[in-house]
Each structure stands twice: as structure tokens, then as C-alpha cells.
Amino acid sequence: MAEDGGRRADEEERGPGAAHQVFAVMECLLEKLKVLNYEEEVLHRHNMKNLSRHYFVSSPYLAFNSGEQFYMFTIIAAWLINMAGRPFTEPQEHDEPNATVSNILSELRAFGVKVDFPPSKLKSGSGEHVCFVLDRLAEEALKRRGFSFKRPNYPTETTEEESVVEDNAELTLSKVEEEMIEEPDEDEENVMDLEALKLRSTHTEAEASSKPDEILESTVDAAEWNLEVERVLPQLKVTIRTDNKDWRIHVDQMHQHRDGIKSSLKEAKSYLDKLQEDIGKTLEKVSSREKYINNQLEHLIQDYRGAQAKLSEAKERYQQASGGVTERTRVLAEISEELEKVKQEMEEKGSSMSDGAPVVKIKQSLTKLKQEIVQMDVRVGVVEHTLLQAKLKEKSNMTRDMHATNIAEPAAGSFA
């Protein structure tokens, strides 16, 4: 909780956009890593997946694995340090995290980057400081390679001139109008301005009023007149340049579109009504045909249902029989196992009965036992002889002592 409160205080001091700055740094870092071809030199060599746009961003809205992120951070940092021209041993998963982070920060300080945060900020493997370290190392690696980002050149935007909508009202004859529809208006130099036409007409009227009234007779040949008409016909088109911002034009266009929609609707409605009628008839035919087919195939459907019922019964009997077969198979396996054991015991007993080795062993044991009995008899005889000699010796000693006592008693009586 204290760490979250300190983080919020730092964000308030730096500004409201500080919490989202790390996302932009991570995206720039990913672009730099792509320029350095980290996919081939790091990811493929270590069999790792590609980094996402916000892989090293620490956010409660993003799923993360701190151990995996820390290992990825150390691998990329070591690779960037080597790319920047300084030898650095690639860390392993069993290395001490504090020592690895301290070595990375030492290399970063060697590049002249100021580090004002403790090494413990990098142990989580994600966050603002991790992105900062990798971004600075990527910049050093790009400097070593001689690569630099250039400012984009934006093309200058040219303002398009407003297109002039020409009115289709033409002050020409019907023949002129048909020919002008066939020939597209591609050359604007042949278009006559309405104001010039008015000035020309007023000038002609002034000249006509100055001339006396008389009957004019034409001296021009009709064929030449037609040729002249055909020559000047493209120049007789008169267009009225209107303002597109005028609301009256929009109203007229709305009325024209409405009339066009109504006319198109009348034509389309007849076709749609006919189509609806045809579809209705087709649906009726299909439904009647379906009923007919159902009636014709009713007995077949009944037979099919009966066959399905018989099939379900047969399947049920088969399952029951399969269960009995399985139980009997298990009992057979147990009996077979017991039979194998009995056979093995019989073979062992038969082999022991047909083998003469035990009889030989018994005979050898009896012979050895007889020898031991003989030896024991000899020892018993020796002991008896020794005991007899001891008894005889003791008896002789006792007899001698008795004689000595008897001799001493008369002698004592004579002295008395």
C-alpha cells in the first residue's frame, strides 16, 4: 500500500500523462529492437515467443509473469550491451538476481547514463525503470551500428478547387441539344459565357434599331448556310454557372431526386410485385409437393422408424452381451494365471523329484555323521578310561590313607 501511495504521488508530481508515458517508451523500444533484428539473434536462439507491444509495462490491466519477464529483461540487456561494443556474459536462470542487475546498471553507467533509482526496481522484470534501461541500451546499440531515426517528411497538401456544377439548361435548339449530348463537353474554350451573349444581343439590337426598316432578303446559299451552322454549332452551347451554396439549387435537386425515386419506384414496384407473386406460387408448389412426397413415403418412414427401434434393441443386447463377455474374459484371465502358477509348482516339484542331487547330499551327510559318531565314540572311550584311571588312583589313595590311619592308632595305644 505504501508503494502504491508513493507511485501515485510521483505521478501527480510529474503530471497526469506520466502513467501512460511508459507505454510509449515500450513501443519505441520494440521498434528499436526490430531494427536491431532481435527476433533472429535473441528469440530464435533461445526459442522464445515474440514480445508484445506492452510486454515490459507494469500495469494491473495486463497479465504478467515476473520470473519470465526478468529473465527476458536480462537476456535482452546482455545482448544490447554486447551489441553496443562492451563484452558482457549472458546471464543464466540460476544466477543471483541482485548481482545480474548490478552488473547491468554498471554497464549502463559506463555509457554515461545517469541512474537515480535503486537496483531493486529492476527485479520485478517490468515497469518504467526496466523500459528506461532497455531503451538507453538500445540507443547505444543503434549508435554503435550507425543507425539513426530521421524526421518524417510530410507531403504538402494542395487545396482542390471547387468543382463547378454546370446546369443542364441550354439555350439551344433541339438539334443542337441532341448533338451536344452525343459530344462530351471537354473543351471549355468553346463554352460561351452568358454575360457575353447578353452584351452581344444588346449590341445587335442597337445596330438593328439604327438601321431603317426594310425587307431583308438573304443572298446566302442554303447549303453554305447549313455548313456554317454545323461549323459554329459547338460554340452555341450556353451554360449558366450557378452557386453550389444556394439553397434553391439544393431544393431543386431534392425535387428532381424525389421525382426520380418515384418513377424508379413505380417501375421497380411492378417487378417486385411480379417477383413476389412468382415466389408465392413457387412456395405453394413446393409445399404441395412436400405434402405429396410425405404421403407417398409415409409407409417407408414407418418402416425406417421400426428398423431404428430394432437397431436400438440390438445395440442394447450387444452392450449387455459385451459386458458378460468382458466379465468372463476377466475370470478366464484369473483362472489362466492360477493355472500357470500350478504348472510352475508342478514343474518345480517334478524337477526336484527327478534330480539325484538331494540323495547324494543325504548320503554324504550320513557318511559324515557316521564319521563324527566314530570320533565321538573314541573321545567317549578316552574320557571313560581317563575317568577310570582317576577313580582307581583315588581309591588307591584312600586305601593307603586308611592303612596309615590304622597303623597310627595301635602305636598311640602302646605309648599310653
Helix (H), strand (E), coil (C) string for 179-209: HHHHCCCCCHHHCECHHHHHHHHHHHHHHHH
Cβ-count burial 360-380 (b if 16+ within 10 Å, e if not): eeeeeeeeeeeeeeeeeeeee
Quickly count: other Cβ atoms within 10 Å of residue 85's Cβ: 12
Q: Per-residue pLDDT for 408 more than 80?
A: no
Q: Which of 240-244, 252-256, 327-331 has the lowest mean pLDDT?
A: 240-244
* pLDDT score of 342: 92
Q: Which of 4-8, 89-93, 136-140, 342-346 has the lowest mean pLDDT?
A: 4-8
- Provide mean pLDDT across the span 318-332: 87
Residue 222 cell numbers, joined:
442554303
Q: Look at residues 227, 222, 236 and name the one whose alpha carbon lies nearest to residue 183.
A: 236
> Side-chain half-sphere of 373: how many Cα atoms within 13 Å?
6
Q: Per-residue pLDDT for 249 more than 50?
A: yes
Question: Which residues have a Cβ under 8 Å from the Cβ of 234 and sit 6 or more positions away?
Answer: 180, 183, 190
Question: Which residue's C-alpha cell is 412456395?
Answer: 283
Confidence class of residue 57 from pLDDT cuts 50, 70 and 90?
confident
Q: pLDDT by residue (tens digit) across 171-216? A: 444 444 455 444 444 444 444 455 555 555 555 555 545 555 556 6
Helix axes 298-354, 247-296, angle to 10 degrees: 70
Question: What is the C-alpha to C-alpha distance for residues 333 and 335, in angstroms, rounded to an integer?
Answer: 6
Q: Per-residue pLDDT for 283 more than 90?
A: yes
* pLDDT score of 196: 54
Q: Look at residues 70, 73, 85 and name the one whose alpha carbon lies nearest to residue 33.
A: 73
DSSP E strands: which ranges in 233-329?
Answer: none
Residue 93 cell numbers, joined:
536462470
Q: pLDDT by residue (tens digit) across 60-107? A: 556 677 788 888 888 888 888 888 888 888 888 788 888 888 888 888
Question: Which residues have a Cβ under 8 Å from the Cβ of 57 and sit 6 or more positions away?
Answer: 22, 23, 26, 126, 127, 131
Q: Which of 45-54, 189-198, 292-301, 340-349 has the lowest mean pLDDT?
A: 189-198
* pLDDT score of 280: 92
Q: Per-residue pLDDT for 394 more than 70?
A: yes
The percentage of residues in the chain with a pLDDT greater than 70, rounded to a whole number, is 73
Question: What is the C-alpha to C-alpha distance for residues 216 and 207, in angstroms, rounded to an integer?
Answer: 15
Question: What is the C-alpha to C-alpha distance for residues 92 and 100, in angstroms, rounded to an integer?
Answer: 9
* pLDDT score of 235: 77
* pLDDT score of 26: 84
Confidence class of residue 146 from pLDDT cuts 50, 70 and 90?
confident
Residues 115/109, Cβ–Cβ less than 8 Å: yes
* pLDDT score of 18: 64
* pLDDT score of 261: 92
Confidence class of residue 337 from pLDDT cuts 50, 70 and 90?
very high
Q: Can you count the helices (H) and strands (E) in the chain?
A: 13, 0
- Provide mean pLDDT across the span 305-328: 89
The better pLDDT of the pair 12, 199 is held by: 199
Question: What is the C-alpha to C-alpha distance for residues 310 and 330, in angstroms, rounded to an integer?
Answer: 30
CA 316 to chain centre: 45
The better pLDDT of the pair 156, 394 is held by: 394
Judged by DSSP in three states, 386 sits in: helix
Confidence class of residue 9 from pLDDT cuts 50, 70 and 90?
very low
Residues 238/172, Cβ–Cβ less than 8 Å: yes
Residues 239/170, Cβ–Cβ less than 8 Å: yes
Of 17-21, 39-43, 152-156, 241-245, give the range with the top mean pLDDT: 39-43
* pLDDT score of 311: 93
* pLDDT score of 167: 42
The better pLDDT of the pair 349, 280 is held by: 280
Q: Per-residue pLDDT for 53 more than 90?
A: no
Q: Per-residue pLDDT for 163 more than 70?
A: no
